[in-house]
Amino acid sequence: MKCDLCNEEGVHTHLITRSYGKGEKLLVIENVPVMTCQHCGETYMTAETLHEIERIKLHRQSFAITRPVAVAGFSISPALLIHSNAQQAKL
């Protein structure tokens, strides 16, 4: 399959989970197809996928089931954050 961006062969589809909103409005959509180009490294969704996501969001009551979700916060040490910022500044 050809990449929509660089027009080279080597696009593969894989499935991801995306979340939209937060708190009471959180919606998690599983098995979203995403295209990844092995040539240019770009990752994108097709127009059809984006339209389907919007349809699911609009009619979430018909599609979604309620499940308890564990939420964890990512914490980073200040030293690591300073090191990361210094590395980015070199670029």
Q: Where are the domains of the chain?
A: 11-90
Exposed, middle or buried, 66 (CB in 10 Å: 0-12/13-18/19+)?
Answer: exposed
Quick check: helix, strand or coil at residue 12?
strand
Query: What is the arithmetic mean of pLDDT over 51-56?
Result: 96
Residue positions counted in the chain: 91
Using the predicted structure, report yes or no on whether residue 89 has a pLDDT greater than 80. Answer: no
Q: Which CATH number describes the domain made up of 11-90?
A: 3.10.20
**Does residue 15 surpass a pLDDT of 70?**
yes
Pairing of strands 43-44, 27-37: antiparallel
Structural contact between residues 11 and 19, judged by C-beta atoms closer than 8 angstroms: no
Instruction: Supply the pLDDT for residue 24.
Output: 86
Higher pLDDT, 16 or 75: 16
Record the pTM: 0.71
pLDDT of residue 64 exceeding 80: yes
